[in-house]
């Protein structure tokens, strides 16, 4: 079982954050350990509260897991402020690959990361990431670019590589088109992965799920391209099999994938 240490926020609605991460890694046959960075008050309609976990508790969780269970891959999600980013960057070892999901904006449109934390995220974690997985709004924040099409996505992905990341998965779900394209951008070239947009409101936690699925694949020894392709397929099926809970952006059907 590939071991994935997930460092992220908790979602009380269960659709995103630590909860989605654990479901994803488990469904893909991996072992999920966690370090909770914040507790959020949220459901499918939005986020109404964010409560950071004390820095010594975040560091303690990470050190406790790594000193005993260990990790093959680390996946980061919501790191709401500079202090949390600095703590995480200081504690995680350079020898373990990191999948950085630069969680800044929730599906509902709620901001989950302060503007002043963006430069710290870029300098301390994006710069050492094995993979970064921004959606279009997040990529625009990271690069300062306006992204209107796949060509802009490619340029933004290449910009993020210059920050030090070894690879970037650019998610194209925010483009106003029916035929969606995700990109795996590396120094060796760009791989395009296409899908038809699904007509559904049940997309809460897609970013968390994709990044965790990539991490699970990497932890299991898959090549990066294989891990990304398998993660993309997992997310597409989980969207299609969503249970339809809630009145807003509903959760995915993680437990129904493959069934």
Other residues' Cβ atoms within 10 Å of the Cβ of residue 178: 9
Is 206 a residue of the active site?
Answer: yes
186 is catalytic: no
**Which of 37, 87, 107, 208 is an active site residue?**
208
Sheet holding 31-43, edge to edge: 46-52, 31-43, 3-11, 73-76, 98-100, 131-132, 168-170, 179-186, 189-196
- Residue 115: what pLDDT? 72
Domain of 212: which CATH number?
3.40.1190.20
Nearest one of 144, 194, 152 to 173, comparing CA atoms: 194
> Is residue 154 annotated as part of the catalytic site, yes or no?
no
Q: Is residue 126 part of a domain?
A: yes
Q: Is residue 147 in a domain?
A: no
Q: Look up 171 and say whether it is catalytic.
A: yes
The pLDDT-based confidence of 221 (bands split at 50, 70, 90) is very high
Indicate the pLDDT class of residue 152, thresholds 50, 70 and 90.
very high
Domain containing 48: what range?
Answer: 3-131+200-256
User: Pick the catalytic residue: 122, 206, 209, 250?
Assistant: 206
**Given 157, 205, 217, 253, which residue is catalytic?**
205
Select which of 171, 209, 217, 250 is catalytic.
Answer: 171
**What pTM does this model have?**
0.96
Span of 8-22, 91-105, 111-125 with lowest mean pLDDT? 111-125
* Domains in the chain, number: 1
């Amino acid at each position: 079982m590939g071991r994935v240490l997930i460092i992220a926020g908790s979602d009380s609605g269960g659709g995103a954050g630590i909860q989605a991460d654990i479901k994803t890694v488990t469904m893909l046959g991996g072992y999920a350990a966690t370090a909770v960075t914040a507790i959020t008050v949220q459901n499918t309609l939005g986020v109404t509260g964010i409560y950071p976990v004390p820095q010594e508790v975040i560091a303690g969780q990470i050190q406790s897991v790594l000193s005993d269970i260990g990790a093959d891959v680390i996946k980061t999600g919501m790191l709401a402020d500079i202090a949390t980013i600095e703590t995480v960057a200081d504690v995680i070892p350079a020898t373990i690959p990191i999948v950085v999901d630069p969680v800044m904006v929730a599906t509902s449109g709620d901001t989950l990361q302060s503007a002043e934390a963006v430069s710290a995220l870029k300098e301390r974690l994006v710069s050492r990431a094995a993979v970064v997985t921004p959606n279009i709004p997040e990529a625009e924040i990271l690069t300062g670019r306006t992204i209107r099409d796949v060509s802009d996505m490619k340029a933004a992905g290449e910009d993020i590589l210059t920050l030090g990341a070894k690879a970037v998965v650019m998610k194209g779900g925010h483009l106003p088109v029916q035929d969606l394209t995700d990109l795996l951008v590396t120094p060796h070239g760009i791989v395009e992965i296409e899908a038809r947009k699904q007509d559904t409101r049940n997309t809460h936690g897609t970013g968390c799920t994709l990044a965790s699925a990539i991490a699970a694949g990497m932890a299991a020894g898959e090549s990066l391209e294989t891990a990304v392709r398998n993660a993309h397929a997992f997310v597409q099926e989980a969207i299609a099999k969503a249970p339809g809970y809630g009145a807003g952006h509903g959760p995915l059907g993680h437990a129904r994938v493959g069934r």
